[in-house]
Structure 1
Amino acid sequence: MEIVVVGRHTEVAERFRRHAEDKLAKVTQLAPYARRVDVEVTRENNPRLSELRERVELTVRDKGPVIRAEAAADDRFGALDLALDKLTERLRRARDRRKDHRRRSNDVIPAVDVRPYDEVAAERETEAAPATLAEPGDAVEHQLGDSPVLIREKLHRAEPMTVDDAVYQMEMVGHDFFLFIDKESARPAAVYRRRGWTYGVIQLDTQVDGAEPVTELT
């Protein structure tokens, strides 16, 4: 399993790289087919955020959905430990879900491949970022006029899936929302987190070209 450590607007010392590699070697215990773990370190220069100035984001790229976790602390070693705790919990949940799917393998409901696209080898965060989004995985940042607001855009490949699968993938990446194509209606949709364990779903009043609504057997 490859472990890639990069710094975003900061340098990453060799000592931290070795520490991250030692810590993340245990990922294979919960994700034996993981191909790579990306470690992105970001430093916040705002003195008001000194207690959260170091942020670490971990991304496991496996055969299934991408699993991500992030955390912030006053130093990157502490942030790594916090992020790894979150990642470990999500990997356990993903493993348990795979086991549950295998137990229900004889159901009459047809299997649906909901794996996301295979993202590019590493997320490119350089000054040479593409000016336009041409391929899935492309990302670009630009400033909003003369304001300090920074807009980050990223292109994803949409995969038809059920609401249940969309909620699952949202939980695995640790986001508060997830965009997808609803498999049953063929409409662009977004699932989002509400209070507690409740979720909401928003659909657009249009259908994706080439996608057909699917009614699964029960």
Structure 2
Amino acid sequence: MTERKPRKDAARNRAAVLAAADALFVRCESPDDVTMADVATAAGVGKGTLFRAFGDRVGLVGALYEARLEPIERAVETGPQPLGPGTPPQQRVTALLDALLRFKLDNRGLALALEAAGRDSPYGAGHYERWHTLLRTVLEQVPGLSDGEFAAHALLAAVRADLVEHLAGVRGLPHDRMRAQLADYAGRVLDTPPPRP
């Protein structure tokens, strides 16, 4: 039996929904303000279409997050310097964390929505597990670092969406300063000097 391809209108609707949700999360004051009804209206589709395509709000937020993050994941895993596999592990760790921080700074509402989207713990989410595995794998290549598993959790905590929102949104910390502080922190964890700007 051949696998059915999604209808063109279904693919079009999915793209419209993701674009509408993306725009709403960029403009929102709080991610809780964005409802499924808002997304359906902005995308010009019925709520039934939305629920059939994504299941629920958690599914929609997860799909949007994956779509936005996928190019960054690809660049981190296979891209050119400074993120490529040939880079020393200490620099790869710093570059990976910087890429994640920049993504969360650019997508604060979406990142907050995902990390708070009806889960008992953000650590059980698929995206967290992928980033933790990638970071742990690189950390295990750092000479003298004894526990890549814990270090990966500790470093990822520094780019949690709620912390990013607190520092950038509530305290108004400039993005460049946050990136420099993160590089300095990672360098101290890895016992290496931070990269020069």
Higher strand fraction (1 or 2): 1
TM-score by length of structure 2 reads 0.28
TM-score by length of structure 1 reads 0.26
Higher helix fraction (1 or 2): 2
Higher relative contact order (CA closer than 8 Å, sequence separation 6+): 2
